[in-house]
Amino acid sequence: MSAFARPVIAGNWKMHKGPGETAAFFAAFLADVRVPQDRTVVFFPPAISLGAARDALDERRDILLGVQNIHWESQGAYTGETSAPMAADAGAQLVLCGHSERRHVFGETDEEVGRKTAAAFAAGLVPMICVGETLEEREAGSLEVVVLRQLDAALAGLADSEVTRVAVAYEPVWAIGTGRNATPEDAAAAHAILRARLRARIGDAAANVPILYGGSVKPENAAALLAASDVDGLLVGGASLDPAGFGRIVNAG
C-alpha cells in the first residue's frame, strides 16, 4: 500500500448497486470527475458487481478495486462465501478486513479477521484492516484498548515485512451511518494511537502504512478530516454512492 499515492480515498458501497447500477455509476463518475494524480482512489463494490466495475474502469490504472469481505479458506464447502484467490482472479486488488458491520452484524471475531488478513496476503491482495470502538466502549474510556486489540489480532499472523504493506481504517462504530462523525481532533487522536502501535512493531516503516478515517464522511467535512494529523485518507460509505458527491470528496484537501 505504501506504493500508492496518499491520500487514499476509498468508497465502500456495502450492499448497494448491482452490475447495471455499477456501470451507470462509473459512466457518470468517469465523465465528470477528474482524479488527481497525487492520491489513490479505491472502490469496494459488492462482490457481484466487481466484474461490472472492472469492465467499466477498463485501463484506468489510477482507480483500484477491492472486495468487502473474503473467507480465510482458499476453497471448500462454504456456500455464499468468496475466497481471496477468487477475488484476486475477478480483478480485486484490495479487501476490507474486519469492517464494523462484519464484526457487529455478522459476529466476526478478532481471530477471524486475523485469518482473513493472512489469507489476503497469500492471494496477493492488500488488506485494509478496519478497527473502531462502539459508543459504549468510547464512553467507558476503552477506545485505545479496543482498537489496539483489534489491530494486534489482525496483524498477528503477518511477518513484519507484510505489516508494512497493509492499510488501516479507523471507523468509530458510533459514527458509521449515523450522521454523527468524529471531529478531526478525535480522528487524529485515534490515528496517533494506531501509528504508535505500528511503530512499535515495524519501526520507521510505520510511516508508510496509510491510516484512513471512516464514519459519516461527507463532501462538507472531507477536507477538514484530511487535514488532521496522521489522517492519510478516508473510507467513505453512503456518500460514495453518488458520483458527483464522491467526486467532491476525491478532490478534497
Give the sign of the dihedral formed by CA 216, CA 219, CA 224, CA 227: positive
Q: Which is the catalytic residue, given 71, 112, 171, 191?
A: 171
Active site residue 99: yes
Task: Give φ, ψ of 150 to 5 degrees.
Answer: -65, -45
CB 246 within 8 Å of CB 19: no
Q: Could you give the CA distance from residue 176 to residue 135 in angstroms, rounded to a whole number?
A: 11
Q: Could you give the CA distance from residue 30 to residue 223 in angstroms, rounded to a whole number?
A: 22
Q: Which is the catalytic residue, given 99, 101, 108, 191?
A: 99
Q: Which residues are catalytic?
A: 99, 171
